[in-house]
Amino acid sequence: MNTTQFGKQGWTPDRIISLKGKTYVITGTTSGTGYEAAKILLKKGATVVMLNRNPKKATVTIATLKQELGNAIPVTNIEMDLASLTSVKKAAEEVLKTVPQIDALICNAAIAQVPKQTFTEDGFESQLGVNHYGNFLLQALLYPRIEESKGRIVTVGSMGYTMGIKTIKFDDMNWDKNYGPNDVYSQSKLAQIMTVYELQDKLKEAGKTTVKAYACHPGASSTSLIKTSGSLLTRFMWQIMKLTPMVQSAVKGAYPELMCATEPDLDQESFYGPTGKNYWTGPVGECKLEPHAKDKPIMEKLWSVSEDAVGYEWNV
């Protein structure tokens, strides 16, 4: 068995002592890894602000968490749809108004393997729009509060970044030609991951050491991600895979983002997740990051293209 920097078992939430007095903002918590991450943070005494697009589901989630952990838990939801820049701005405004400190912003929500080319209300291809542009704008808008709090930005990527064309299709970001669910998902996840390392470079250049940015991936976890947006065949294959040891629980899938949000002195340069075969399951630790994810000219270009697309200049 491989040993991670946290020993044979890898990182587990047992390493988190108490999070009393800390506040975490986390997207996509009505199911899967986001739900499990929120639950563990609350168990450890943290305040959790959830950002979800469906207020009904969020209300049910809060009720479920209170039933399990007690009525007094400090958890709230702010409505936000990553597929709408207007919605992201409105939610960020609400966060800045009501949340005095952000110890970590955990960008957990995503969509995957959308079978046919569809667009967000802003005219972006949906996977790039939700997974990358929505998160990019949210991070930029909340950055001042995160900086004041000496906090962290945690981006939940995916090993999907290693598939597809392994770069950003700048001449056709919306994939009007050759749309393929996997290629496009791969590009959206690569864009998310690249942004983390580009932000690190920008923080270094500005001499800012108090804000930290991390990229991780959940491995192959039993969540509703594929179930809700994949094609029939993809969903069928996934349901079968979920019955095999190749797929781990959503709880374990939440470990990498929890580690990046809470573990002191964690190296930002690395990419974190399950370290077993194909990085699907296994002890959580450092994973190899493919060189194309740190292609500097592409990272720089992506950053400026993204600022133009969301109409907001990130002020580091």
Active-site annotation, residues: 185
Q: What is the DSSP letter of 292?
A: G
Assess contact for 138 and 105: CB atoms under 8 A: yes
Report d(CA 249, CA 33) in Å as an integer: 9
Report d(CA 316, CA 296) in Å as an integer: 18
Assess contact for 287 and 271: CB atoms under 8 A: yes
E-strand ranges in 198-300 read 212-216, 271-274, 284-287
| Residue 241 CA to its chain's centroid (Å) | 23
Assess contact for 246 and 280: CB atoms under 8 A: yes
Task: Give 10's strand partners.
Answer: 284
Strand order in 271-274's β-sheet?
75-79, 47-52, 23-27, 104-107, 152-156, 212-216, 271-274, 284-287
In angstroms, the Cα distances linking 41 to 18, 77, 141, 144 are: 9, 15, 23, 23
